[in-house]
Amino acid sequence: MTRKLLSDYGMFLVLLLLCVLFSVLTLKEQIPEGSAAPARLIEQINNEFKKSDTILVVGAVNKDSASFVEKLGEELVKEGFNNTKVVVGVPRDLLLALDDIRAKRGGLAAIAISGDVTKWRVIEHIPEKYPEFSGCKVLAPKSYLWPDFLKRSNLLAIVDRIVVIAVIAIGVTMVIITAGIDLSVGSLIALSAVIGTLLMKKMGGLQAPGWVVLVGFLVGILSCGIVGGLGGFVVARFKVAPFITTLGIMMMARGLAFMITGGFSIYQVPRALPWLGQGRSLGIPNTVILLVVLYVAAHIFMAHTRMGRYIYAVGGNEEAARLSGVPVKFVIVFVYVISSLAAGLGGCIQASQLNTGTPNIGIMYELYVIAAVVVGGTSLSGGSGRILGTLIGAFIISVIQNGMNLLGIESYTQQVVLGAVILGAVLLDKAHSGGSLPGLLRKKI
């Protein structure tokens, strides 16, 4: 039982371990930010100061810090502290504000600051520079221990980094389960992105309404689907090796993307373009919603529909599948079309994230996608694999990259480590399916 769980979800365990590892390594003092944090500070000010005291509220110029400070100022005024002054800016703005108070010969009871401001060195120098304010208290939100890795913004960044690869990996998983391979997806990202954005530009550019973006996306995705269908046809009808077929398509699609744009990026795209890649619905990033919906749908498709079962059967034994009445050629064309459509969608997401269509995006992505699929437990020899495993595989890659960024490891080292981890993960998977890791090492080949 345990063994079965391990072999099915061993990679999930690896992902969890990686998360724990990076959480421990990036554990740091954190200071609350954002609009929800001020409550405790207000309570403190209410207890210690009179309503007539002058209180300076200082925040840095970034979204979290500013919203924290503005909320704090608002609440203080509401509580009756009418001499509250709010300053959002750089250290110099703080000094200017202090000069201003001194010029008016006012007193200063307290300076309330956001987490980011605690790092400003001017705060320490206030007593020497402004002896008249030496009695004022500096109030900051209380810090707590929390890993950088597990911060909401970082977790979202992990998803952002991997969403394109994860979406494409759905299609490539299906291709690999039929014992094929698809090398063209990286180039199709670029093709879809440039076709889509070029169309948007022609249909009104910056001022174009939202539906133009939708049309651009659909045309970009469908053109990829057509290219993929051709590739699938060549594989199914003429029995050309998928590796060669998709290698050819990879080169052709990349070349086409450069031809269409003349080698330049496409700007003057509609203002609605970033909605998919950067926008949020109900407070959740659209990319996350898209990822969840696609993976749930793909999982149900593979596990609970006839076509899903056919895909496994074709990969497991093509001849037996054919003699059981499975329309093998149709299945093969189908998976390449799905893979290309997914690559097209990936291109749209990428274009939306970058707010432009560029012919040189997605280079090497096919290899990251294949790595994600294989780390996720899908066998390159076909017939077995899981969609949700692929999602885990994609996250393992993204988490490793993210964790190393947080730890400040340089990018060349990162590549070495990533490569080693991919190999290690696959070995570990072999060990699970064929006994223990020591057993694997002892086994004579």
Partner 1 sequence: MRASISSHEGCSHILLQMLTCASSPAEPVLYIVIMMAKNPKRCNSLLLEMLQIDKSFPGVHALKNVSMKLRSSEVLGLVGENGAGKSTLIKVLGGAHLPDSGSILIEGQSVHILSPTAAQQAGVSIIYQEFNLIPDLTVRENIFLGREKTRMGFVRATEEHRETLQLFSKIGINIDANARCSELTVAQQQTVEIAKALSVNAKIIVMDEPTATLTTQEVEHLFAIIRDLKSHGLGIIYISHRLDEIFEVADRAMVLRDGEHVGTQDINDITCEKLIEMMVGRPIESEFPKRAARPGRERLRAEELCRGRAVRNVSFSVRAGEVLGFAGLVGAGRTETVRLIFGADKPDKGRIFIDGRKTNIRSPGDAIRNRICLLTEDRKGQGLVLIHSCRENFGLPNLDRLVRGMFLDQRRERKEFSGFVESLKIKISSHEQLTMNLSGGNQQKVVLAKWLARNADIVIFDEPTRGIDVGTKYEIHLLMNRLADEGKAIIMISSELPEILGMSDRIIVMHEGRIKGEITDVENTTQEDILSMAIA
Q: Quick one: which H or E segment has residue 55?
A: strand 55-59
Helix axes 185-202 and 242-261, enclosed angle (nearest 10): 30
Of the pair 7, 265, the CB lying nearest partner 1 is at: 7
Closest CA to 399 of 154, 235, 133, 170: 154
The answer to whether residues 126 and 254 touch, using CB atoms and an 8 Å cutoff, is no
Which residue number, 104 or 444, has a Cβ lying nearer to partner 1? 444
CB of 315: closest distance to partner 1 in angstroms? 9
Q: Please say which residue, 362 or 376, places its beta carbon nearer to partner 1.
A: 376
Q: What does the buried/exposed string (b/e) look like for 412-429 if buried means 16 or more CB atoms within 10 Å of the residue's CB? A: eebeeebeebbeebbebb
Taking the complex as a whole, how short is the minimal distance between the CB of residue 411 and partner 1, in angstroms?
40
Q: Contact 276/164 with Cβ under 8 angstroms?
A: no
In whole angstroms, the minimum distance from the beta carbon of 386 to partner 1 comes to: 14
> Would you state the torsion angle of the CA atoms of residues 23, 28, 33, 34, taken in this order, to the nearest 10 degrees?
-10
How far apart are alpha carbons 97 and 103 in whole angstroms?
10
Closest contact distance (angstroms) between CB of 319 and partner 1 is 5
Between residues 130 and 301, which has the closer beta carbon with respect to partner 1?
301
Q: How far is the CB of 62 from partner 1 (least distance, A)?
A: 48
Q: CB-wise, 4 or 92, nearer to partner 1?
A: 4
Which CB, 18 or 311, lies closer to partner 1? 311
Q: Minimal distance in Å, beta carbon 382 to partner 1?
A: 9
Q: Chain centroid to CA 96: how far?
A: 40
Angstrom CA distances, 390 to 8, 138, 147, 332, 386, stand at: 12, 51, 26, 20, 7
What residue has token string 């469908």?
A: 222
Least separation in angstroms between residue 343's CB and partner 1 is 25
Minimum CB distance to partner 1, residue 260 (Å): 37
Least spacing, CB of residue 375 vs partner 1, in Å: 20
Number of neighbours of residue 253 by Cβ within 10 angstroms: 27
- Backbone φ and ψ of 32, nearest 5°: -60, 140
State the Cα–Cα distance between residues 264 and 251, nearest whole angstrom: 18
Q: How far apart are CA 117 and CA 126, in angstroms?
A: 13
Residue closer to partner 1 (CB basis): 251 or 297: 297
Residue corresponding to tokens 């998928």: 242
Is residue 190 a contact partner of residue 362, using CB atoms and an 8 Å limit? Answer: yes
- Which residue has 């345990």 as its token pair? 2
Residue given tokens 């593979």 in the structure block: 302
Residues near partner 1 (CB under 8 A): 300, 304-306, 309-310, 312-313, 316-317, 319-327, 383-384, 444
CA distance 110 to 124: 14
Nearer to partner 1 by C-beta: 282 or 445? Answer: 445
At residue 263, φ and ψ (nearest 5 deg) are 90, -5
Q: Which is nearer to partner 1, 137 or 322 (CB)?
A: 322
Q: Which is nearer to partner 1, 32 or 383 (CB)?
A: 383
- Concatenating the DSSP letter of every residue in 272-336 gives TTHHHHH-EETTEEHHHHHHHHHHHHHHHHHHHSHHHHHHHHHHH-HHHHHHTT--HHHHHHHHH
CB of 439 vs partner 1, minimal distance in Å: 11
Closest CA to 189 of 367, 334, 17, 351: 351
Please name the helix (run of DSSP H) or strand (run of DSSP E) that holds residue 57, with its range, or none: strand 55-59
Q: How far is the CB of 309 from partner 1 (least distance, A)?
A: 6
| Residue nearer to partner 1 on the CB measure, 277 or 385 | 385
Beta carbon of residue 168, minimum distance to partner 1 (angstroms, whole number): 24
Residue 313 or 342: which CB sits closer to partner 1? 313
